[in-house]
Structure 1
Amino acid sequence: MEIVKLHYPLQAEIKGDEKIVLAMGFFDGVHLGHQDVLNKAKQKAQELGAKFCVLTYNHHPAVVYKQMTAHEKRYLTLYDEKMRLFEQMGVDRVYYTNYTYAFQNQSEQEFVNNFIKRFNAVAVVAGFDHTYGGTKDANMENLPKYSNGEFEVITADPVTLDGEKVSSTRIRKALDDCDVELAGKLLGRPYRTSGVTVHGREVGRLLGYPTANIEHPELQWLPSIGIYVVRVSFGDESHIAMASVGHNVTFSDSLPMTVEINILDFDKNIYGETLTIDWLSYIRGEVKFDTPQQLTSQLYDDEVFTRNYVQKHPEVID
């Protein structure tokens, strides 16, 4: 898959000669709704003998027009994971564009000329709520007005689950509510993060449950505080584990939040490894225990829960 990084205004020599079908969107999460847009674009590209391309952006468009909290600035899929998912879905080329005030301030016709016609798109596909340009008229319903019949406009209807629209906002709320199973249903796959294994306080080892402390990128959206069943992968290995997102409140009231992973039936030194974490199920909330022994007893119960979960869902270890 080719990745073309663009900066607006575009340099004069940047253009496309071969015909393409262009899927447009930010695609944070690449959830079931996004997948529908991408699959429609892929199918149209195959019909027309065109390249399957994506136009996406380097950060939340909202950064340009409002103040955002540190939490709001986080992402469901960071760059590497998003590109991996695009490639997995068969995308031939990604136009990865910086989203700035100047980019947003284009008129509708300027956007069409610069990012659709210029790249020789014969069809464009986006969700029903996709916008472009800086005015309220920059929507999919009005896009054919600016095409001059030079490209087809395909608008994807909303995808729903349990009567509600699938959206990145809904997935973020599910993660904030510790509902990683709902997040996985909306994504069509388990929610995934990755981070580097670093040294921690090694309290878990003293309790008989050694943990890998995972340092995530600052902009990664994480499930809320709690204990979870997860699958971790590195190299060609994959293992079931218990994950704790929390502050180790049994030992202090002032420790920073950490992500700690206890991998079942595992005894290797993996400091420095980048672990991929698939979040499978919520076990319980974080509890402040009176003694370390009470915590150890609870960890045993968590392990039993985790092993039972795997027995009920054997597909998670395939």
Structure 2
Amino acid sequence: MKISRLHYPLPDDFEVGGPTVVAMGFFDGFHKGHQAVLQRAKTEAEKRGAKLAVLTYDHHPAIVYRKMSPHEQRYLTLNDYKMRLLADFGVKQVFLVNYSYNFQSQTPEDFINNFLKRFKAVAVVAGFDHTYGNKNIATMANFPKFVKGAFDVITVPSVNLDDKKVSSTRIRIELDSGDVDGVNKLLGRPFQTRGVIVHGEERGRLLGYPTANVEHSEYQWLPAIGIYVVTVEIAGKKYLGMASIGKNVTFSDVHPMTVEINLMDFDSNIYGEVVNVNWLSYLRNEIKFQTPADLIDQLDQDKTATREYLQRHPEIMD
């Protein structure tokens, strides 16, 4: 998959070889709604003998419009992971555009002439609520009148689950409530994060539950504080685990937020390994225990619940 990192205005010598079908969207989360847009674009590309392409952005478009809190500036899928998902889907070309004030200030006609026509688009596909500039004007309903027949416009309707639209916003809300089971239904796959194994305080080892401490990017959206069933991919192999997102409140009132995972049936030194964490199911909230013995009793129960989850869902290890 070719990734073209673009900035407005495009250089005069920018060229695309051959016709494209372009799917437009930010695609943060790569959820079932995004997949429907991409599948329609893929079908059209195959039918027309064109290259499947994606127009997406290097950061949240909202950064241009308003001040965002540090939490809002996080992502469901960091850019490297999003690119891997797009490549796995069969995308051949990504136009990764810097979403700047000047870019979003283009008129719809300018955007079409400066970008989509230069991408040699024969069809452009997007979700029904996608915008490409001024949100009051640059809507998919208005898109055909701006395109003026230069290429076909295909609008993909809402994908719903439980009578509500599948959306990145909905996924963020459910992650903030700890509902990774619900999130995974919206994604059609486990919610996945990526981090590096670093040294922690090693309290878990003293309790008989050694943990791998996973350091994530500050821009990674994580589930809410709590205990979860996870699998962890290390060097191409998958291991069952129970993960804690929290502040170790049993031992300190001022401990920073950490992600610690007890890997079951595993005993290897993995410091420095970059791992993928698949978040599967919420077990419980973080609890401040009166004694370490009380904590160990709860960890024993969590371990049993984690193994029972595997028995009910053996496919998680595939």
Q: Same fold (TM over 0.5)?
A: yes
1:127 corresponding residue in structure 2:
127
1:235 corresponding residue in structure 2:
235
1:82 corresponding residue in structure 2:
82
1:286 corresponding residue in structure 2:
286
Please state how far the C-alpha of 1:135 moved relative to its aligned partner: 5.2
Structure 2 portions without partners, runs of 5+? none
Letter in 2 for 1:43: T
Q: Output the aligned Cα RMSD.
A: 0.7
Letter in 2 for 1:227: I
2:180 corresponding residue in structure 1:
180
Partner deviation per Cα, 1:157-209 (whole Å, 9 max, x = no partner): 00000100000000001100100000000000010001000000000000000
1:268 corresponding residue in structure 2:
268
Find the aligned partners of 1:69 and 1:21 in 2 and give their Cα distance: 35
TM-score w.r.t. the length of structure 1 is 0.99
1:16 corresponding residue in structure 2:
16
Please state how far the C-alpha of 1:115 moved relative to its aligned partner: 1.4
Identity %: 59
2:247 corresponding residue in structure 1:
247
1:73-112 residue pairs with structure 2 within 5 A? 73-112=73-112
- Runs of 4+ displaced beyond 4 Å: none
Letter in 2 for 1:247: K
Find the aligned partners of 1:240 and 1:225 in 2 and give their Cα distance: 20
TM-score w.r.t. the length of structure 2 is 0.99
Find the aligned partners of 2:93 and 2:83 in 1 and give their Cα distance: 10
1:305 corresponding residue in structure 2:
305
Find the aligned partners of 2:191 and 2:88 in 1 and give their Cα distance: 16
Find the aligned partners of 2:147 and 2:271 in 1 and give their Cα distance: 54
Letter in 1 for 2:237: E
Find the aligned partners of 2:196 and 2:108 in 1 and give their Cα distance: 43
Find the aligned partners of 1:110 and 1:89 in 2 and give their Cα distance: 30
Please state how far the C-alpha of 1:136 moved relative to its aligned partner: 1.3
1:67 corresponding residue in structure 2:
67
Letter in 2 for 1:134: N
DSSP 3-state at the match of 1:296: helix
2:196 corresponding residue in structure 1:
196
DSSP 3-state at the match of 1:183: helix
Find the aligned partners of 2:131 and 2:248 in 1 and give their Cα distance: 44
1:222 corresponding residue in structure 2:
222
Please state how far the C-alpha of 1:16 moved relative to its aligned partner: 2.3
Structure 1 portions without partners, runs of 5+? none
1:161-176 residue pairs with structure 2 within 5 A? 161-176=161-176
Partner deviation per Cα, 1:272-294 (whole Å, 9 max, x = no partner): 00110000000000000000010
DSSP 3-state at the match of 1:33: helix
Q: Count the aligned residue pairs.
A: 318
